[in-house]
Copies of this chain bind each other. A is one copy, B any other.
Amino acid sequence: MKDVAARAGVGLKTVSRVVNGEPGVTADTERRVQEAIESLGFRRNDSARVLRKGRTASVGLVLEDLADPFYGPLSRAVEEVARAHGALLINGSSAEDPEREQELALALCARRVDGLIVIPAGHDHRYLEPEIKAGIATVFVDRPPGLIDADAVLSDSCGGARAGVAQLIAHGHRRIGFIGDQPRIHTAVERLRGYRAAMEDAELPVHPSWVSLGSTAPERVRGAVEEMLTGPEPVTAVFAGNNRVTVTVVRALAGRERRTALVGFDDIELADLLGITVIAQDAALLGRTAAERLFRRLDGFNDEPAHMTLATRLIARGSGEIPPQ
């Protein structure tokens, strides 16, 4: 910028004015400055600008896995809102590792992102307290924060699962299995809670062998399906706790002679063609809502932190409507 000023024969501040489109520069001076900028290939250094202004016009997003088809749309929605506010998005995956979540979130804070959106992997977010106090707006999404009070945007996991299981019950099932993600994941536990609630609503007992929480690795899920179908109290229907589980359950059930009913949490591409009944949540809406909340905070909105819950939607496509065999 100094160079541009020298080349154009003007003061530093004049160049700054031109670069930022501020008023108070004659057309002629502006032209000379523009020429100097062109010929020197000058581009403003935003790092310096940030240092001076205190705002980075960027927000951070810590999610679990950018490659998961659930987080892609969420991420994109956050990006769109950020873009509308002139901000860039820095994002990283925690890989469901609390330490990595913290490392990432703090790295983003060190960069002085204006705001932070976090899909928690861990359950203790006190490490963010000083950052939030220091002015970094923070919104949690998909899962609630642990041990601190902060905004959160969630899907109704419990209610969704309850509705899904109720659908199976309505079609005559009494022995229903639940296969979910690791119990340390909030949504996994909530969905299990919904399952239990639905069973209780119908006054159905839950045999311990019908519930299986754990990794979403295909082998683990396949094993769980196998056990439920061949155990002492074989199930006639399965509720799958998320998209990863559903795809594996569908594959595991595909090869069998006896048809087993299935409802899965999360919609999946091509599920319509396979006739898979699902509880759909709107990932993009989740992201958009969280991002809008974040920017409202950045615009000075200062209410108490709140948790909001978005409804889920049952999409009946056949697999959940198979009667017990």
Contacts and interface: CB of A to CB of B under 8 A. Distances in A.
Interface stretch (A75-83, A206-214, A291-299): A75-83
Interface stretch (A60-68, A139-147, A224-232): A60-68
Nearest to A69: B69
Interface stretch (A28-36, A44-52, A151-159): A44-52
A133 B58 contact: no
Interface stretch (A10-18, A166-174, A246-254, A300-308): A246-254
Contacts of A134: 41, 43
Contacts of A131: 43
Interface stretch (A104-112, A182-190, A192-200): A104-112
A73 interface: yes
Interface of A: 41, 43-48, 50-51, 56, 58, 65-69, 71-73, 75-76, 79, 83, 88-93, 106-112, 130-131, 133-134, 247, 250-251, 254, 268-274, 284
Given A89-B91, A111-B46, A251 B269 contact: no
Contacts of A45: 51, 110, 112
Nearest to A58: B90
Given A67-B284, A88-B92, A251-B272, 11 more contacts: A41-B133, A44-B110, A46-B111, A47-B51, A69-B69, A88-B90, A89-B92, A247-B270, A268-B270, A270-B271, A270-B274
A49 to B, nearest CB: 8
Contacts of A66: 66, 72, 75-76, 79
Q: Which of A67, A90, A93 has the most CB of B within 10 A?
A: A67
